[in-house]
């Protein structure tokens, strides 16, 4: 791991100059996989993509908790990531129940697609402070990589 960190910092001079010789290591769980209705061309989770990915519904949140607690012994933060345009209310509720009693909730983040204002507030109330968002590409190039939603809507998704 030390060699890898040293290599990353050698390549990334800007990081080293502005943030020092430190990087933060995070980990994720793919909490729900495959069959996304969107057609983002780079993404193996899309149902339009022929990639041979595992397909499964939302993992039992208690299992997510167990894995995150183990993983957080070695990394600084842990992301719960799901495929799909968004999670439904029931799935958000299941996750929120678990987040509420998670001893290390301040080290958790989510990347769960589009979320409503209500879901955002629910996540916030149970202690989630990080919501991950991929930049992917510019607004002008966006129609070349996705046709099922536009850049404005994308800003609310993965
Ligand atoms: S919305 Fe997210 S999960 Fe679905 S295809 Fe696009 S990047 Fe992949």
pLDDT at res. 93: 97
Please give the distance, rounded to the nearest whole angstrom, from the Cα atom of residue 8 to the centre of ligand 1.
28
- pLDDT average per 10 residues of sequence, the chain (158 residues): 67 75 87 94 92 95 97 96 94 98 97 92 96 88 93 69
Enumerate the β-bridge partners of residue 30: 81
pLDDT at res. 119: 94
Please give the distance, rounded to the nearest whole angstrom, from the Cα atom of residue 152 to the centre of ligand 1.
15
β-strand pairing of 108-111 with 26-32: unpaired
pLDDT at res. 72: 97
Rounded Cα gap, residues 32 and 83, in angstroms: 6
pLDDT at res. 134: 80
> Which residue has the least CA distance to atom 6 on ligand 1?
40
pLDDT at res. 38: 93
pLDDT at res. 3: 72
Coil/strand/helix, residue 108: strand
Q: Could you report how far apart the first and last alpha carbons of the chain are, in Å?
A: 28
Please give the distance, rounded to the nearest whole angstrom, from the Cα atom of residue 76 to the centre of ligand 1.
25
Query: Of 104, 155, 105, 148, whose CA–CA distance to 125 is shortest?
Result: 105
């Amino acid at each position: 791991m030390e060699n890898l960190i040293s290599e990353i910092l050698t390549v990334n001079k800007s990081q080293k100059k502005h943030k020092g010789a430190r990087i933060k290591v995070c980990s994720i769980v793919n909490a729900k996989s495959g069959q996304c209705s969107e057609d983002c061309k780079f993404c193996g989770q899309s149902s339009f993509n022929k990639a041979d990915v595992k397909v499964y519904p939302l993992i039992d949140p208690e299992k997510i908790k167990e894995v995150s607690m183990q993983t957080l012994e070695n990394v600084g933060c842990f992301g719960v990531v799901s495929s799909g345009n968004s999670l439904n209310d029931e799935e958000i509720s299941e996750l929120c129940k678990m987040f509420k009693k998670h001893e290390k909730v301040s080290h958790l983040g989510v990347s769960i697609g589009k979320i409503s204002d209500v879901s955002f507030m629910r996540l916030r109330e149970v202690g989630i402070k990080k919501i991950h968002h991929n930049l992917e590409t510019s607004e002008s190039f966006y129609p070349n990589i996705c046709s099922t939603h536009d850049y404005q809507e994308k800003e609310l998704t993965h």
